[in-house]
Amino acid sequence: MIGGRPVVALPVLVSGLEAEMIRLGYKDSTMVWYRGAWRRLQRYFAACGVEEFSLDLAMEWVDGACGFFAKEQAGALKQTDVYLFRVAQMLGEYEAHGAVLRRYSRTVSKLTGDEAAAVARFEASLRAAGRSASTVRSYGTLAGEFTAFAGTRGGIARCDAGTLEAFVATLAGYQVKTVEQKLCAVRSFLRFAAAVGLVDAAVLDAVPAVRSSKQARVPSVWDPGDVARIVEAIDRSNPCGKRDYAIILLITRLGLRGVDVKRLEFADFDWPGNRLCVVQAKTGHRVQLPLLKEVGWAVIDYIRHGRPACGCPQVFLRPRSGRSPTRTICIRSWSSTPGWLTCGSARSAAMACTRLGIRWRPA
- Average pLDDT score, the chain: 79
Residues 6+ apart with CB under 8 A from 224: 334
pLDDT in tens, 326-354: 544 333 333 333 333 444 455 555 555 55
Residue 173 confidence class, pLDDT cut points 50, 70, 90: low
Least confident of 5-9, 99-103, 299-303, 332-336: 332-336
Q: What pTM was computed for the model?
A: 0.49
Residues 304-331 have a mean pLDDT of 69
154: left (phi over 0), alpha (psi -120 to 50) or beta: left
Residue 163 confidence class, pLDDT cut points 50, 70, 90: confident
Write the CA distances from 5 to 1, 8, 53, 96, 97, integer angstroms: 5, 9, 12, 8, 11
Q: CATH number for the 224-356 domain, one of 3.10.330.10, 1.10.443.10, 3.40.640.10, 3.30.565.10?
A: 1.10.443.10
Q: Which helix (H) or strand (E) holds 243?
A: helix 239-254
**DSSP for 133-157?**
HHHHHHHHHHHHHHHHHHHTTT-GG
Q: Residues of the chain with pLDDT > 70: what percent?
A: 78
Reply yes or no on whether the pLDDT at 191 is more than 90: yes
Quote the pLDDT of residue 128.
93
**DSSP for 71-111?**
HHHHT---HHHHHHHHHHHHHHHHHHHSS--GGG-SS--PP
Residues 6+ apart with CB under 8 A from 341: 247, 248, 251, 258, 328, 329, 331, 349
Query: 3-class SS at 212?
Result: coil
Quote the pLDDT of residue 265.
92
Residues 93-116 have a mean pLDDT of 67
Q: Do 217 and 180 form a contact (C-beta atoms < 8 A)?
A: no
Question: In whole angstroms, how large is the CA radius of gyration of the chain?
Answer: 25
Query: 3-class SS at 6?
Result: coil
Q: Which among 236, 133, 146 is positioned nearest to 185, based on CA atoms?
A: 146
122-206 belongs to CATH 1.50.10: no
Q: How far apart are CA 162 and CA 205, in angstroms?
A: 12
Reply yes or no on whether the pLDDT at 223 is more than 90: no
Q: What are the domain boundaries of the chain?
A: 10-104, 122-206, 224-356
